[in-house]
Structure formats: C-alpha cells, structure tokens
Amino acid sequence: MSIDIEVQGDVRIVRWDDGENRMNLDSMTEWHAVLDQLETIDGALAVVVIGTGKFFSNGLDLDRFMVDADQAGPTIDLLHQLFGRLLLFPGYIVGALNGHTFAAGAMLSCCFDARVMRNDRGYWCLPEVDLGLPLTEAMTAVVTARLPMEAAHDAILTGQRYCAEDAHALGIVTDTSDDERLLGVAVDLAEPMAGKNRQVIAEHKRLLFGAAAALCGISVAPR
C-alpha cells in the first residue's frame, strides 16, 4: 500500500507515499479503506495527513485517463465521496503540505480542518482554468466551504500558484513551516484536539459542511 497509518499518541499520521500522489482508482480505493479504518477508532483521536518528497498531491491522474478514459468517471465519483467523508470526519484533521499541492490535491487539502504548508518548496494551486477543465459543483462546494471567499474566488478564477507566504496571507493555509519542523507543527495543532468530544465535532461539521458534503454524495442525519 502507498498510504500508511502511524500512531503517535492519540494522533494518527496518514502518510501518502506514491510519487506524485495522484488520484486514480487505486489511490481512491486506498483512501476510502484508510477512512474505514480510522472511523472504527473509539475515544481520543486526531489525524495528520502528509505526503512525501516533492509532492503532497498533484491531483487527478490525467495520464492514466488518457490511456483508459473509462476510469475517469468512477475515479471522480470516488474522489467526490472522499471529499464528503473528510468534510464530515468525526475528528480533527490537519494537513501537512510537504510539497506541491495542485488541482484535486489542493481540493483535498481544503477538506482538512487546518493546513500547514512547507515554506521552502511547493505551490498550492487550482490550475483548472488553464487546463480547460471546469470544477464540478461538488469540488467548488468543497473549496468555498473551507476557504475565505476572496481566496476561493482568486484561486478558482486565476489559477495562480501560491507560495506558502502568499497562501498564508490569503487564509488558504493555517501556518507555514520549514521541512524539518513541518510534521511536528501539524501534530502540535492536532494533538490538543484529540481529546475533545468527537460526537460534538461530528455534529458541528455536519452543521458547517453538510451541504457541501451532500453535493459530494455523503450525508448524515442530525445527531
């Protein structure tokens, strides 16, 4: 598997290690299996998600879709569902953006409750306007549910690449860090949230993001 779960006290570190960490049928199946596992954990829990090397995630696996176009639709369906599950996940999630965070990878980062971006490598970008690939309603709902509207507007319409400093100034990311301290900063953000009431967190997320999650194909009843 290319996605591993490490235990650090009450924090689970989800480490995605598959080169550019592209979204395809294989990676989406793995991601849903990881969430299945995390959702079975009772008691204190917070999650940190991190990639490896140059990329946090480079988005949809367009190269694979060029070879087998029939995989595109099912992959995007699973991606939407992943976004919805993360938006409503019953626990606090912090993204440690270790490198380039592009397209669907940037959307994935929007599903986290906090984001720490490496300040000496990588850009955060929604390049769909330059690729000629419009966002879906579900994707747009995810981005606008989490980011300040001015930042979402700028990112979606311009396709600009944001360095860590600019992303932080716009509110796209919560904090920045050098590579050496990146994971530690993310864990420090996650750890104090692990012991909070997860049922209440889940209900608050439903209230905050239920509409966006429903557009992604995931809905839950009020608690």
Q: What is the pLDDT of residues 136-163, one digit of tens each?
A: 999 999 999 999 999 999 999 999 999 9
Check whether 117 has a pLDDT greater than 90. yes
**Segment 9-16 mean pLDDT:** 98
Q: What local confidence, expressed as pLDDT, does residue 94 receive?
A: 98
pLDDT band of 1, cuts 50, 70, 90: low
**pTM of the model as a whole:** 0.96
Q: How many residues does the chain have?
A: 223
User: Which of 88, 126, 91 lies closest to 107, judged by CA?
Assistant: 126
Q: What is the CATH number of domain 3-215?
A: 3.90.226.10
Q: In the predicted model, what is the mean pLDDT of residues 12-26?
A: 96
Instruction: Give pLDDT, residue 167.
Output: 98
Pairing of strands 11-16, 3-8: antiparallel
Binning pLDDT at 50, 70 and 90, where does residue 102 land? very high
Please list, in sequence order, all residues whose beta carbon lies within 8 angstroms of the beta carbon of residue 68, skipping any fewer than 6 positions away: none
Mean pLDDT calculated for residue range 204-208: 98
Cα–Cα nearest to 157, from 147, 98, 79: 147
| First and final C-alpha spacing in the chain | 34
* pLDDT tops 90 at residue 128: yes
